[in-house]
Amino acid sequence: MQFEPLPREAKRTHPATAILGLGSVGFAALMAVATPGGGVGLELFLALFGLRQIAQWYFRTYELRPDDLVIREGIITRREQIVPYNRVQQVDIHRGLLAQVLGLSELRIETAGSAAGRVQLRLLDQATAASIRSLVLSRRAPGENVGRMPRAEDADSPPWARPAPEATPILAVPAARLALAGATATLPVFSACAAAGVVACFAPVALLSSTVAPLALAGIAFGAVALVALMTGLSVFTTVLQYAGLTVSVSDGDLRVDYGALDKQHLSLPRRRVQQVSISDNPLRRALGIVDVTLHSAAAPGGEHASRLTVIAFPRAEVGPFLAFLMQDPEWHPPALQPRTRAAHRRAIVRRSALLCVPAVAAAIAFFPEGVLSLAVAAGAGYAWGTVAHRRAGHAITDAITVFAAGALSHRVHVVPRRRVQSARTTASPFQRRAGLATSWLDIAGSRAPHLYDIAAATAADVRTYIPRTRSERTTDPAPSARGY
Amino acid sequence: MDATAVVLDGREHSLDPRVRILWALNSALVGLAAGAAGAIVCAVLGGPAWLTALSATAGVVFAAIGVLSAGALWRRWRWRALDDALELRHGLVVVRESLVPYRRIQQIDVERGPIERMLDLSTLVLRTAAATTDARLPGIPAEHAAGLREVLLARAGIDDAV
């Protein structure tokens, strides 16, 4: 890709940014010409709306200074926003269909905290957007790579004039695996379960009664299969289209994720900005060996990809090496999970059985006395569900990270670096207290707090008092019971 | 009571007893106002009499629960200022415990509502980079709030902490 030398003075975004305004004004003019003598209300509204859009584009400028980006905007109330490069969390380039046709890009720069720190440069030409991204990403916190911080004497060869660091691809997801991920997404799996349920309920009725022909059963079964096929096809189609050409690459410590056919996304996140990694799957995906890997940054949640970046259809076998890369330690391997206690197993079964017993009790009352069997079915299903959930749940704590894993149908593993934990909490309901259990929460910037239900109360207390502190601080107030890790 | 001594001793503290009055008044006002509003709306719109009565009763019950539980809530509230972190423990039904290291503090707010001003109390709210951090310290006597805040801020982190 071509990199342009970036201007030092304040610049506007590409004029095409105001395309909506121009279109609106043009349409108003066309209407005024085409229908002379008609009402002017709509034309006036369209024209004013268009002029406002154009003025907004005209009065909005960006300036790339050595250490920060300055945005000035506003027609009447002027606003000046300064974004220091070393506080940038995430830089994304988005190219919609129109932008692709016109050779343009939309650039979004995220800082930590509220959405007010988000800068969107809508529609820059492609080369400029790429140059700005590489400029912003090339700036690190002071001291981290001093050699690349811009200085006055550096003006002869600014970073963007040097060859951009090569991006090394580390993972490419083929379309076939995307299709598998699409087929095992929530929508097709849920519709398959619903269809199977309907057929299962209807089958005994159809088979026992002589009046309803087996033909009706065949019709229902065919309808169910067709519905599932349709949902699966839809999910596969949208997934493949949305994530076409999904690749993960590394460039100078930054993670790049590129994908999309009609809507191209080029997301980048500096490795040192990763706040949390979560790995999720469901039983079907587990059988196929694929997971979703989500990287969370401290950017404010909201917006399309703000604060997280998901790689779908990630091969399970690659997760370990990928985490080792994020940890910057090739020798690193995922720690073994500590199982929850027997009391947690009991609670997992009781909670799920209680949930399933609500419809079962209704069925038992409605179809007394045969319906009582449904209670046994609910209890059995609750036992199986709870046991699977219990087997897949657990935690692991090392000096560097905390791992929380839970969930049977939708399984999720949170990997939280210890130095990202802002504070820690435990909560305990009366039921949990009676069983000697608690819920452990870790508060991190930018996303919801990862948590683990029904961890032993003593372990939860250790996690709370040990994890948020740094090693040096620990010596001032040791948590002796935490030594066991 | 010297606020500096409070921060460094690492002992367990309960809140100022006047906070019970604050909580009781708060829930009484909210409960009675909600009950009255519901009853009035019901009466004006011509709803059945039992609904009006139910709404008023619900408000009174809510207020009563709030007033009666204020004391128990206060007895359960404990906070501790360790060398490097603030520890809180509170909650009647769901017991909540949290630990916030001082170096993660981004900002400390002192809040004083109308009832708190009347009782001469303040609420200290510690904020970190995580929105989910639970570190509200209610019932701090107003004369100590500023000092406590200074002492905690002096120990706050200097980097961007994210």
Cis peptide before A330 (omega within 30 of 0): no
Residue in B closest to A273 by C-alpha: B162
d(CA B108, CA B131): 13
> What is the model's pLDDT at position A453?
94
Query: pLDDT tens, A28-39?
Result: 888 888 877 666
How far is the alpha carbon of B134 from chain A, nearest alpha carbon, in Å?
8
Query: Is the pLDDT reported for residue B94 higher than 90?
Result: yes
A420 CA: distance to closest CA in chain B (Å) = 7
Distance of residue B88 Cα from the nearest chain A Cα, in angstroms: 9
pLDDT score for B160: 53
Residue A331: the pLDDT is: 83
Mean pLDDT over residues A410-432, rounded? 94
Average pLDDT over residues A265-283: 91
Chain B positions touching A433 (Cβ under 8 A) are 95
Residues of A in contact with B100 (CB under 8 A): 422-423, 468
Task: State residue A363's pLDDT score.
Answer: 81
Q: Is B152 on the interface with A (CB under 8 A)?
A: no
Inter-chain touch B98–A476, beta carbons under 8 Å: no
CA distances from B28 to A130, A191, B36, B63, B137 (A): 60, 49, 12, 4, 21
Residues in chain B closer than 8 A to A429 (CB atoms): 93-94
Chain A contact set for B162 (CB, 8 A): 89, 112, 275, 298, 445
Measured between beta carbons, which residues in chain A are less than 8 angstroms from residue B94? 427-430
A427 closest CB neighbour out of B83, B94, B161: B94
pTM over 0.80: yes
The token duo for A42 is 């709509």
Residue B10 is predicted with a pLDDT of 80
CB A443 within 8 A of CB A425: yes
Tell me which residue in B83, B93, B134 faces A425 most closely, judged by beta carbons. Answer: B134
pLDDT at A389 over 70: yes
Q: Minimal Cα–Cα distance from A86 to chain B, Å?
A: 10
Q: What is the pLDDT of residue A349?
A: 95
Cβ A464–B99 below 8 Å, yes or no? yes
Write down the pLDDT at residue A483: 30
A323-352 confidence digits (pLDDT tens): 998 888 888 888 999 999 999 999 999 999
More confident residue, A6 or A424: A424
* Interface mutation vs chain B, best among A90, A297, A420, A443, most B CBs within 10 Å: A443
B127 vs A: CB within 8 A? no
Which pLDDT value is given to residue A164?
Answer: 58
Q: Which of A430, A464, A477 sits opposite B83 (nearest CB)?
A: A477
Contact assignment for A112 to B129 by CB distance below 8 Å = yes
Q: Range with the lowest mean pLDDT among A114-128, A395-409, B5-19, B72-86?
A: B5-19
Q: Which of B94, B103, B129 sits opposite A298 (nearest CB)?
A: B129
The reply to whether B9 touches chain A by the CB within 8 Å rule is no
How far does the CA of residue B126 sit from the closest CA of chain A (Å)? Answer: 11
Cβ contact, residue pair B97, A425, below 8 Å = yes
Q: Which of A423, A430, A477 sits opposite B128 (nearest CB)?
A: A423
Residues 61-90 of B with CB under 8 A from A: 82-85, 87
* pLDDT score of A162: 52
**B160 interaction partners in chain A (CB closer than 8 Å):** 87, 112, 141
Give the pLDDT of residue B158.
60
The stretch B144-152 carries a mean pLDDT of 90
Contact B126, B105 (CB under 8 A): yes
Please state the rounded mean pLDDT for residues A368-382. 84
Please give the structure tokens belonging to residue A477: 């107030």
Task: Give the residue from chain B lying closest to A301, CA to CA.
Answer: B131
CB contact under 8 A, B104 and A468: yes
Q: What are A146's two structure tokens?
A: 């001093």
Residue from B152, B153, B156, B160 nearest B81 by CA:
B152
Per-residue confidence (pLDDT) for residue B117, from 0 to 100: 94
Note the pLDDT of residue A327: 84
Grade residue A477 by pLDDT with cuts at 50, 70 and 90. very low
Chain B residue with Cα closest to A447: B130
Q: Is B103 on the interface with A (CB under 8 A)?
A: yes
Given a cut of 60, whether residue B30 has pLDDT beyond it is yes
Residue A60 clears pLDDT 80, i.e. is over it: yes
pLDDT band at A68 (very low <50, low <70, confident <90, very high): confident
Q: Average pLDDT, stretch A84-109?
A: 90
Chain A contact set for B104 (CB, 8 A): 422-423, 468
pLDDT tens digits, A130-179: 888 888 887 654 444 433 444 444 445 555 545 556 788 989 999 999 99
> Which range has the worst mean pLDDT, A133-147, A281-295, B20-34?
A133-147
Q: Which residues pair with A247 in a beta bridge?
A: A172, A258
User: Buried b / exposed e across A164-186, counting CB within 10 Å, b at 16+?
Assistant: beebeeebebeeebbbbbbbbbe
Taking an 8 Å cut-off on Cβ atoms, the answer to whether B98 and A473 are in contact is no
pLDDT at residue B113, as a whole number: 92
The pair of structure tokens assigned to B136 is: 């509200």
- Mean of the per-residue pLDDT values of chain B: 88
User: Of A139-153, A351-365, B25-39, B102-116, which range is least confident?
Assistant: A139-153
Question: What digits encode the pLDDT tens for the residues A307-331?
Answer: 788 999 999 999 999 999 888 888 8
pLDDT of res. A482: 33
Higher pLDDT, A162 or A96: A96
Search chain B and give the residue with CA nearest A113. B129
Model ipTM value: 0.89
Of B96, B130, B160, the CB nearest to A423: B130
Q: How far is CA A13 from CA A58, A59, A63, A92, A107, in A?
A: 9, 10, 11, 16, 10
Cα dihedral A38/A43/A45/A49 (nearest 10): 180
- CB–CB contacts below 8 A, A to B: 92
Look at residue A253 in the predicted model and tell me its pLDDT.
78
Nearest Cβ partner of A444 from B99, B101, B130? B130
Best residue in B8, B98, B136 to probe A by mutation, most A CBs within 10 Å? Answer: B98
Contact A105, A131 (CB under 8 A): no
- Average model confidence (pLDDT) across chain A: 84
Identify the CA nearest to A451 among candidates A402, A398, A381, A386.
Answer: A402
Residue A445 has pLDDT above 80, yes or no: yes
- Between CA B61 and CA B39 the distance in angstroms is 14
Residue A289's Cβ-count burial label (10 Å; 0-12, 13-18, 19+) is middle
Q: Could you say which of B94, B98, B134 has the minimum Cβ distance to residue A429?
A: B94
Instruction: For residue B133, give the nearest of A443, A446, A470 by CB distance.
Output: A443
